[in-house]
Amino acid sequence: MRAMTANADETSDQSSAQRTVHLEVADGVATIRLDRPKMNALDVSTQEQIRAAAQECTDRDDVRAVVLWGGERLFAAGADVVEMETMSHRDMVKRSGGLQSALSAVARIPKPVVAAVTGYALGGGCELALCADVRIAADDATLGQPEVLLGIIPGAGGTQRLTRLVGISTAKDLIFTGRFVKADEALAIGLVDRLVPAAEVYDAAHTWAAQFAAGPALALRAAKEAIDRGIETDLETGLEIERAAFAALFATADRAAGMRSFVENGPGKATFTGE
């Protein structure tokens, strides 16, 4: 596993026993690492720590790309059912918005995000992986949305993001049955983008993210926003989103540097500053 440097700016108001999400930054790549034994269950505290880590990745200029990781053993086996079992309808009416928005904060990070999926990514864990731009999974990983087996439905984006990713019929099959999906099927239906041996998952994800560490940050941000916003609307509106973003990049230093380098030296040799 690639060594990761801990972020010295992590707040100190939580003890190590309370902290279940760690943000580690090195060489332009941030890792949001879940650390809640035994199964990385996403309780309310962990959800809010995910939100805080996502916001920090959004705000920090030294973060150019992000890896979501649950550790070598598993990604996240789902929400904390023990915690949810005690919640009333009134409690969940209050909490459901926070649950969705905590994970959506990851989807809204305006930088490339990759999920490194080992072991299980089920329920809320699968929904968290769906918030990434790309999913690299272990060849023995298991994913799924088994909420219906608890008498509920996915509540952190699963009915929406999964459908947009794999299509209506496949999403309905997975959500209606609650069945687990093995890695080879997940790859075939587009739920994950690449399979590697379990021991190589984090390194593969980090390598994917690291290619953007010295990239044109504003162009990458614009590309992600155009895709994510455009897919939610009609083609004409999407094209207008793209046009506006394309034109705006002509005000950036990276655009000038990139085009000048292309003219003078050919493609792929520009040095970008992120401005």
Given the structure tokens 């990604």, which residue do they identify?
Answer: 75
Choose among 198, 212, 6, 10: nearest CA to 117. 198
What integer pLDDT is reported at residue 7 of this predicted model?
Answer: 46
Q: Which fold has domain 21-210?
A: 2-enoyl-CoA Hydratase; Chain A, domain 1 (3.90.226)
Same topology between domain 21-210 and domain 217-265: no
Q: Which of 77, 81, 46, 50 is nearest to 152 (CA)?
A: 81
The answer to whether the beta carbons of residues 251 and 275 sit under 8 Å apart is: no
| pLDDT recorded at residue 98 | 86
CATH architecture of 217-265: Orthogonal Bundle (1.10)
Model pLDDT, residue 10: 40
pLDDT at residue 12 in the model: 39
Q: What is the pLDDT of residue 4?
A: 44
CA distance 4 to 70: 14
The residue whose two tokens read 């087996």 is 149
Enumerate the active-site residues.
127, 147
Closest by alpha carbon to 113, among 137, 130, 138? 130
Domain boundaries defined on the chain: 21-210, 217-265
pLDDT at 47: 94
Q: What string of pLDDT tens digits covers the 275 residues of the chain?
A: 444 444 434 433 444 448 999 999 999 999 999 999 999 999 999 999 999 999 999 999 999 999 999 999 999 998 888 888 898 899 888 888 888 999 999 999 999 999 999 999 999 999 999 999 999 999 999 999 999 999 999 999 999 999 999 999 999 999 999 999 999 999 999 999 999 999 999 999 999 999 999 999 999 999 999 999 999 999 999 999 999 999 999 999 999 999 999 999 988 888 898 88
